[in-house]
Amino acid sequence: DLPSSSTLRLAAAPPTAAELQPLPDVALNEARKLGCSYADIRINRYRNRTVSLRTSPERGAPTKVNNVPGVIETGSFGFGVRVIHSGSWGFAAGPQVTKDAIARAVADAVAIAKANAAIQKAPIELAPVPAYRDRYVTPHLKDPFEVPIQDQIAFLQGVHDAARSVKGVGSVNSGMVFRTEDKYFASSDGSSISQLI
């Protein structure tokens, strides 16, 4: 039998979609209040999972086989803001996706833009673009993060059993790597775009 696997999870779960909804408005309203001619915000969540299995004969007891599973699950969550103020770009970002942190980041980005304006040869002028409101999800049959880890290890075990049934095969290593990127973008031009990749 395979030993039970454990995963390293984020200390605090990222906000839900409902909790995220008002956050872009904080950035755009703050930028407007501080006199920006343009602003946008990106909120990103990345998840990674690696599931692996190593099968090999035990040293000194070649008839006994060790199956050693491995599971690593990590994630990151944060945001970035861009502004144009005084004809120059300013940028700021943070890992704490809260209203206060976003408001502070916008103020930092404005300060950076003002500093950049001192050496700006010509003011930034963006080409006009229409506002887009859309959501894109990579076509998939099943979200791998919704599949129980034990099921994924069991799948690899089936692969190992098939490989070891071939004469001469003693050791087998296999793994699966999953990554998801959940991104949200909103701009003062009126765009609101989310992507799940």
Q: Are strands 88-94 and 61-85 parallel, antiparallel or unpaired?
A: antiparallel
Q: The tokens 């999972």 sit on which residue?
A: 49
> Residue 101 pLDDT > 60, yes or no?
yes
**Short-list 16, 7, 88, CA closest to 49:** 7
What is the distance between the alpha carbons of residues 68 and 156, in angstroms, rounded to a whole number? 11
Lowest-pLDDT range of 4-13, 26-35, 163-172 = 4-13
Phi, psi values for residue 51, rounded to 5°: -120, 125
53 in Cβ contact with 67 (< 8 Å): yes
The pLDDT value given to residue 32 = 97
Tokens linked to 146: 């919704």
Share of the chain above pLDDT 70, in %: 90
Least Cα distance to 111 among 144, 83, 150 occurs for 83
Is the pLDDT assigned to residue 96 strictly greater than 70?
Answer: yes
Task: Tell me what pLDDT residue 60 has.
Answer: 73
Whether the predicted pLDDT of 7 surpasses 70 = no
More confident position, 12 or 35: 35
Q: At 14, is the pLDDT very low, low, confident or very high (cuts 50, 70, 90)?
A: low
For the cut 50, the answer to whether the pLDDT of residue 9 exceeds it is no
Supply 179's token pair: 């990554």
Would you say 29 and 41 are in contact if contact means Cβ atoms under 8 Å apart?
Answer: no
Whole-number pLDDT of residue 17: 62
Mean pLDDT of the chain: 89
pLDDT in tens, 48-72: 999 999 999 888 776 788 889 999 9
Tens digit of each residue's pLDDT (9 = 90 or more) over 129-177 = 999 999 999 999 999 999 999 999 999 999 999 999 999 898 999 999 9
Q: Return the pLDDT at 20.
A: 76
The three state secondary structure string of the chain is CCCCCCCCCCCCCCCCHHHHCCHHHHHHHHHHHCCCCEEEEEEEEEEEEEEEEEEEEECCEEEEEEEEEEEEEEEEEEEEEEEEECCEEEEEEECCCCHHHHHHHHHHHHHHHHHHHCCCCCCCCCCCCCCCEEEEECCCCCCHHHCCHHHHHHHHHHHHHHHHCCCCCCCEEEEEEEEEEEEEEEECCCCEEEEEC
- Give the pLDDT of residue 109: 98
